Amino acid sequence: MTFKGVDFYNVDSLFTEEERAVRDTVRRWVDDAVMPIIREHYLERRFPAELIPQMGELGMYGANLPAEYGCAELNNVAYGLIMQELERGDSGLRSFASVQGALVMYPIYTFGSEEQRKEWLPKLATGEVIGCFGLTEPDYGSNPGGLITTAREDGDSWVLNGAKMWITNGSMAHVAIIWAKTGDLDDSRSIYGFIVPTDSKGFTAKDQEGKLSLLASDTSELVLEDVRVPKDAILPNSKGLKCSLMCLTQARYGIAWGGVGAAMACFEEAVSYAKERVMFDRPIGGFQIQQQRIADMLTEITKAQLLCVQLGRLKDRGEATPQQVSLAKRNNVDMACECARETRRLLGASGILAEYQAMRHLANLESVYTYEGTHDIHTLILGEAATGMSAFSGP
């Protein structure tokens, strides 16, 4: 059955014809190619790698980057709608595209040399090359400025040492963007991004075992032991923590849209089940408690949709701030978690089955709540924006 969307406020009328066409193409593809297989992949803990080339053909990787590098050169609203539809299918799919586009292609495009752009972007755009982004370390999650992976110059090479944790696409990737310090470990201004082929000697990736979330996604630990890369592997304009945080802003923007997609999938499931499931001689959708659940979901999804459109328009005008992106990521992922949780509850015992979507989305969204800046970190970012006082470090 084709997904019709949740659109209580005619948000559709805020999109251009091209934006709607992009959304509808991805929507159909998710219905046809993802929905029939995602449950099986999730239960078997496998990312649906067979979809990677199709996503490339449809222009889903780095879709807001220029056509001269093989990208779709869409505006940010159309890009966001792609993320929305992918996450309606599964957060793992949106994660894959987010990492490839916002965390691998964006830094190469923004901080790389022209040679690096020409070498990597076209192959990343088709999915022929898969990338991952290594910022988080075992002891540096919310505070990446403290990272201790090092890159030291040695003749014509850089030599990298360190470990990265929780890396999406880590075991599948052909290339990793590794953030490392080139100078004093106390100085986050010495951080640079490096393009590291994953078949380099000394580079290992190990699957993160025991996950109960994002099962249809590859999450890995990376270890770099004297990994030697040529001098020109450094992204020349990536100096300082700020550059890695700029990448996060791109990914967080897509996640804000993705949250809407996951919430819409849950809402549709809740309404459909509420109409069909009969208890006490009537469909449960006729009971006030279930209607409250549905009304709350509809309200929050509608607010989140409007937030995304305005954020996208601001981003297209070059006016969106990282703090505005934080607000949308924080709100929309939390909102999606609530929708998934309430749908799961509305479904009663059926809600714990993989046959329905709610529990899968709920489990996934618990990761989305944590990655790309935990909900708490975005709270502090907004607190600082509002008060001018940073609560990150103590007195």
Q: Out of 55, 82, 135, 264, point to the residue binding ligand FAD (CB under 6 A).
A: 135
Judge whether 75 and 320 are in contact, CB under 8 Å: no
Enumerate residues 284-323 that contact ligand FAD by CB under 6 A. Answer: none
Q: Count Cα atoms within 13 angstroms, Cβ side, for 360.
A: 28
Select the residue whose beta carbon is closest to ligand FAD and give its number.
Answer: 141
Q: How far is the CB of 147 from ligand TGC (least distance, A)?
A: 10
Of 110-118, 165-173, 188-196, 345-353, which part binds ligand FAD (CB under 6 A)?
165-173
Q: In whole angstroms, how far apart are CA 395 and each of 185, 197, 390?
A: 22, 42, 10
Stretch binding ligand FAD (CB under 6 A), from 24-32, 199-207, 336-344, 374-382: 374-382
**Can residue 246 be called a binding residue for ligand TGC (CB under 6 A)?**
yes
Distance CA 103, CA 124 (A): 12
**Residue 248 interacts with, from ligand FAD, ligand TGC, none (CB under 5-8 Å by kind):** ligand TGC
Instruction: Pick what 322 binds: ligand FAD, ligand TGC, none; C-beta below 5 to 8 Å, kind-dependent.
Output: ligand TGC
Minimum separation from the CB atom of position 251 to ligand TGC (A): 6
Q: Which residue, among 61, 54, 59, 66, has the nearest Cα to 96 in the 3D structure?
A: 61
Q: Please identify which residue in 98, 305, 357, 364 interacts with ligand TGC, judged by CB under 6 A.
A: 98
Closer CB to ligand FAD, 136 or 182, in the complex: 136
For ligand FAD, which residue of 219, 250, 343, 357 counts as binding (CB under 6 A)?
219
106 binds ligand FAD (CB under 6 A): no
| Cα end-to-end distance, the chain, whole Å | 57
Cα-based distances in Å from 192 to 181, 245, 366: 6, 12, 30
> Residues near 301 by Cβ (< 8 Å), separated by ≥ 6?
6, 8, 260, 263, 264, 267, 335, 339
42 lies in the binding site for ligand FAD (CB under 6 A) = no
Q: Does 251 bind ligand TGC (CB under 6 A)?
A: yes
Q: Which of 5, 122, 141, 197 binds ligand FAD (CB under 6 A)?
A: 141
Residue 132 vs 340, nearer CB to ligand TGC: 132
338 is catalytic: no
> Is 367 an interacting residue with respect to ligand FAD (CB under 6 A)?
yes
CB crowding 215-225: b at 16 or more within 10 Å, else e: bbbbbbbbebe
Which region among 21-29, 133-141, 276-284, 295-303 touches ligand FAD (by CB under 6 A)?
133-141
Q: How far is CA 361 from each of CA 99, 351, 369, rounded to the nearest angstrom? A: 19, 11, 12
SS3 220: strand
Q: Which does 381 bind (CB under 5 to 8 A by kind): ligand FAD, ligand TGC, none?
A: ligand TGC
317-322 CB contacts, 8 Å cutoff, 24+ apart: 320/253, 322/245, 322/249, 322/381
Give the active site residue among 68, 338, 372, 384.
372
Site for ligand TGC contains 271 (CB under 6 A): no
Structure tokens that stand for 92 in this block = 């793992």
Q: Is 377 in the site for ligand TGC (CB under 6 A)?
A: yes
Residue 340 lies near ligand TGC (rule: CB under 6 A): no
DSSP letters spanning 231-291: GGGB-TT--SHHHHHHHHHHHHHHHHHHHHHHHHHHHHHHHHHHHH-EETTEEGGGSHHHH
Helices (H) and strands (E) in the chain, counts: 12, 9
Build a one-symbol-per-residue string for 177-216: x at contacts with ligand FAD by CB under 6 A, - elsewhere.
-------------------------------------x--
User: According to CB under 6 A, which residues from 231 to 270 bind ligand FAD?
Assistant: none
Minimal distance in Å, beta carbon 275 to ligand TGC?
Answer: 34
Rounded distance between C-alpha atoms, residue 192 and residue 107, angstroms:
11
CB-based contact 229:200 (threshold 8 Å): yes
- Residues lying near ligand TGC in the complex (CB under 6 A): 95, 98-99, 133, 135-136, 142-145, 168, 241-242, 245-246, 248-249, 251, 322, 371-373, 377, 381, 392
- Catalytic amino acids? 372
- Residues lying near ligand FAD in the complex (CB under 6 A): 99, 133-136, 141-142, 166-168, 214, 219, 367, 370-372, 374, 376-377, 380, 392
